[in-house]
């Protein structure tokens, strides 16, 4: 598995959200780096990164949902359900990582990074197309 790198095809054209998406992928990539790091601090790094990942994800999703609601995106509740489902799955997988090996953590990274990038490219693009013209 390779680390997923940001590219500008993921930009939505809403600067604050684009910045948050880049940060979210960066935090996910910290997970990849910790799993790949042979220096023996894997467990300590993982605890810190997983906390950062969950905290930032909750913050970012909240910011998106506020923006959607502020501009009247009709599917905000459906989008929130997707966010909530992802957070629940992340929390479940994190519990399963307790004492897990690096292969499990790498699989978790693949899930997180893959979901985030697919979600941005598909679902976030929908609401951003609605909200963006109202920001001008």
Domain assignment of residue 5, yes or no: no
**pLDDT of 103:** 85
What is the C-alpha to C-alpha distance for residues 87 and 112, in angstroms, rounded to an integer? 10
Domain assignment of residue 106, yes or no: yes
Domain assignment of residue 94, yes or no: yes
CATH number at residue 60: 1.20.120.50
**pLDDT of 105:** 86
Domain assignment of residue 2, yes or no: no
Quick one: three-class SS letters along 52-75? HHHHHHHHHHHHHHHHHHHCCCCC
Domain assignment of residue 120, yes or no: yes
Which of 131, 11, 122, 18 is closest to 74 using CA atoms?
131
**pLDDT of 99:** 67
What is the C-alpha to C-alpha distance for residues 50 and 27, in angstroms, rounded to an integer? 9
Higher confidence at residue 103 or residue 65?
65
What is the C-alpha to C-alpha distance for residues 84 and 8, in angstroms, rounded to an integer? 26
Domain assignment of residue 6, yes or no: no
Domain assignment of residue 61, yes or no: yes
Domain of residue 38 covers 13-135
Do 20 and 66 contact (CB within 8 A), yes or no? no
Q: Is the pLDDT of residue 72 over 90?
A: yes
Domain assignment of residue 29, yes or no: yes
Residue pLDDT, tens place only, 33-54: 888 877 667 777 888 888 999 9
Query: Domains in the chain: how many in total?
Result: 1
Residues 24, 94, 52: CA angle, nearest 5 degrees:
35
């Amino acid at each position: 598995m390779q680390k997923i790198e940001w590219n500008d095809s993921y930009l939505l054209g809403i600067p604050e959200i684009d910045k948050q998406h880049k940060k979210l992928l960066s935090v996910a990539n910290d997970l990849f780096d910790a799993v790949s790091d042979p220096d023996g601090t894997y467990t300590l790094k993982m605890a810190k990164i997983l906390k950062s990942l969950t905290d930032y994800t909750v913050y970012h999703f909240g910011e998106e949902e506020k923006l959607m609601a502020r501009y009247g995106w009709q599917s905000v509740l459906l989008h929130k359900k997707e966010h909530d489902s992802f957070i629940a799955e992340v929390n479940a997988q994190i519990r399963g990582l307790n004492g897990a090996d690096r292969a499990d953590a790498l699989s978790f990274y693949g899930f997180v990074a893959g979901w985030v990038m697919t979600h941005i490219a598909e679902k976030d693009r929908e609401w951003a197309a609605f909200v963006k013209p109202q920001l001008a």
